[in-house]
A = this chain, B = another copy of it.
Amino acid sequence: MSAHTDLTRNQSLVLDRLEKAETPMSAYAILDQLRDDGLRAPLQIYRALDKLLDMGLAHRLESINAFVACAHPHCHASGLIAFAICEKCGQVSEFSDEIVRDRLAGWADREGFVVNRTTMEIRGNCRACAA
């Protein structure tokens, strides 16, 4: 029941699942949970996810082939978001750092590299799981 009225049915279903999940979900895990809603093929999930990623409402975690709802869906800001993924409990923290962003932008400038997209993922154990 998210208030994303501009989304299509499939996109809403997928986003709702991601928002209710406590940990990242694979596309196939999402699909399994949406079979009762009539979804049957992976492509239906991937298409919805593509749009959600474009809109910044969800993120892809490259290092674990999974997806999460954006923790800050209001501010579409942030050209660079970092994720900390706990390998024990699966919890993901989303954060950003101006200085890191500036450093990477500086490197790209010097090298003449035109940036499309940056991924930054820290894997380890969260405070609770490290104890």
A residues lining the B interface (CB < 8 Å): 62-63, 82, 84, 86-87, 93, 95, 97, 99-100, 103-104, 107-108, 111-127, 130
Contacts and interface: CB of A to CB of B under 8 A. Distances in A.
A108 B86 CA distance: 12
Given A97-B107, A104-B82, A114 B120 contact: no
B62 A121 contact: yes
Minimum-distance CB pairs A-B, first 9: A112-B127, A115-B124, A116-B124, A114-B130, A62-B62, A62-B63, A114-B125, A114-B124, A118-B122
A95 B63 CA distance: 19
A87 B100 contact: no
A108 B120 CA distance: 14
Contact of A84 (B62, B108, B120): B108
- Greatest chain B CB density within 10 A among A87, A95, A127 is at A127
